[in-house]
Structure formats: structure tokens, C-alpha cells
Amino acid sequence: MSGSGLAVQFPPMAETGDDRSVLESLGLNREEQALYEELVSRPPVRATELAGSSALAKLVDLDLVTLINTDPPRYVVLPPDTALDVLARRRERELADARRKMVELTVRFHGSTARREPADLVEVLHGDQEIAQTMSRLLLGARNEVCGWDAPPYRDDPNQVNQLEIDQLKRGVSFRVIYDRRGSVDRPGRLAALIQGIADGEQARVGDVPMKLIVTDAPMAFVPFDVHATRHETALLIHDPVMVEGLAALFELYWRKAVPLATYDPQPPATDRPTAAERELLALLMSGFTDNEMAVHLGWSERTVRKHIDGMRHRLNADTRFEAGYQAVLRGWLGHRG
């Protein structure tokens, strides 16, 4: 080795997608790891050749490198399998201590919930602007899932695409929504919007729900203040984890009873497939609509509705409407999500 000093050339490090060290969890940054890797592959290095190195000071502090009293003094790397294992075990103990502290704090948190002021657990929202801003905050705050009941009244056109939901779906947040059969799905043009939402990744079902509801895993929940109002001027944003858990459990009860919304099959039409009008009729039929409700939604007479249903039953060789729906699913006429 030359006496002119150690010109430490940091070796290229594995690509990690960021600037972090592979050994960062053990306390080394990129510069310190690079120096350590260089010293591991070399004989003991003279102390004068590493004078003033801040990275070296960290390696010594972590007992990865030690100074031996030779002539001249030299730095020696301790066996990595031993030295790094000591650091790993130290970190494991620190993580175990952190987990125990987390459990302790969680117990204290839930124990103090009952003693909080109501204002800390439920936020009262006033006016369209505050409600709209809070709804956006609620959806953006979801980590993995959003669940909800879709029911009137509506602030905006319910047939419009919710761009925020689409953005969250692309991020991997799942959406499960129950659409009120009479107050939501039966609106003219609404079915097409629901079909588009399902195509974007939403899981949709149809049922009878008592009000509008949104529950996220933040955990937070949104409910109207007056469920019978024709326009929501006041709403509640619930932070209390116990109340949110209760509303989530209630949602699951309704979800199990709701009917999965039949959706169009994405495959190209074939000779034995239904027409576009028949697909929409099947979607309504499978969602539990009556003849009158289907007629209103499609702009047909009840007689026309029954005529189309009878025609499809004949094509499907089915004696009943239930059997016709079953055969439609078996033949791939409809797909189910959720």
C-alpha cells in the first residue's frame, strides 16, 4: 500500500430507488456504508490515512472498526458477521421496546376516549363549502378502503364522475358502495354512471339504505345531521374510533343483504348475446327492480318491459325470471363485481 495516503474510492452501491443506505436500518448512511465496504476488502489501514473522516468516526462508534496500537497505529475492521449481527440484535431490541410502548400508548388512548369532550370526537360541519371540503379530506385520508351508502339528497349531479374516487382507486384504495334502490339507482341516466364507476374498479351493490354514509379506515365517518332533510346544510364528521367501528359494522350488515349490481360484459357482442337495451334491462332486473320501476327508468311501458323479459327467457330456455338471470350469468351475458 502506498504511503501517500488511502484514496478511498467509494464503490458503486446497489440501486435502491432512493438515496438511502442498504444498512441504514443499522445506523449507517451511504457514505459510511461505502467506507465500511472499502475497509472490509483491505488490510488494516494506517490511522494517518483516514484522519478527519467523519464516516470513520461513526464506524468506530458502532464498533465496526477499531484502532489497534501498532507502529504505526492502524484501523482494523472487526468480522462483519459478528459486528453487524450485534447491531442487528440491538435494533431488534429497540423495535421490541417500541412495540411495547405502542401497545401501552394504545391502551392509554382507548382508555381516555370515554373521558374526552364530545367536541373532540364529533366535528359539526356547516354549509355546502365546509361539507364539500371535508368530504374531499375524508376520501383523501383513506389508506386502504372507503365504504359508503349512496342516497339523496345530492349536492352535485349524481350522474357525474367522481374524479377524486377515480384517483384514489388508481392509488389502490378500494371503494365499496351500496346505492339506494329507490332514491339513487332509479334516477334517469344514473345506471350508466354506476356502470362506469364499476368499470373503474368500484364494487357496487343495490339495496335499501336509511341515509348517506361514508366510512374510511382513517378511521373517520361522515353522516348527515338530519337524515330526512331535502338538502344537507349540516353534517357530522366522526373521529371516535368506537363510533366509527360501529358504523362500519352496520355497513357490513347492509352489504351482505344488498344485491351485487349487474354490469355489462366487456367482451364484444356475439350472436347469442343480448342487445344493448336488453343488457340494461338485465342489469335492472338482476338488481331487484319491479316492472314499473324498470319501465320508468328505461322510458318504456310495462308491457314492453315484460315483452323483452319474455323474449330473453325464451332465448335462454328459462321458465322463470330467476332462472333467466341464472342462465344469463352462466352464459357470460353479465358479469358481477363485489
The pLDDT mean for the chain works out to: 77
120-148 pLDDT, tens digit per residue, is 688 889 888 888 888 888 888 888 999 99
The pLDDT-based confidence of 270 (bands split at 50, 70, 90) is low
Which H or E run includes 33?
helix 30-40
321 pLDDT more than 50: yes
With cut-offs at 50, 70 and 90, classify the pLDDT of residue 48: confident
User: Which CATH number is associated with domain 1-90?
Assistant: 1.10.10
**Kindly report the CA angle at 335 between 332 and 336, in degrees rounded to 5?**
140
| Region 263-336: CATH code | 1.10.10.10
121-260: what fold? Endonuclease; Chain A (3.30.870)
Residues of the chain with CATH 3.30.870.10: 121-260
Q: Indicate the pTM of the whole model.
A: 0.50
Count CB atoms within 10 A of the CB of residue 151.
21
Answer whether residue 97 shows pLDDT above 50: yes
Concatenated DSSP letters for 47-77?
GGGGTT-HHHHHHHHTTSEEEE--SS-EEEE
Distance from C-alpha of 39 to C-alpha of 43, rounded to nearest angstrom: 8
Where does CATH 1.10.10.10 sit in the chain?
263-336
The predicted-structure confidence for 189-236, as pLDDT tens digits, reads as follows 677 777 778 888 899 888 889 899 999 988 899 998 876 666 778 899
Of residues 144 and 259, more confidence is placed in 144
Instruction: For residue 57, count other CB atoms closer than 10 A to its CB.
Output: 13
d(C-alpha 10, C-alpha 34), whole Å:
5
Interval 143-183: pLDDT, tens: 899 999 998 887 777 667 788 888 889 889 999 999 887 77
Indicate the range of 15-19, 131-135, 227-231, 294-298 predicted with least confidence. Answer: 15-19
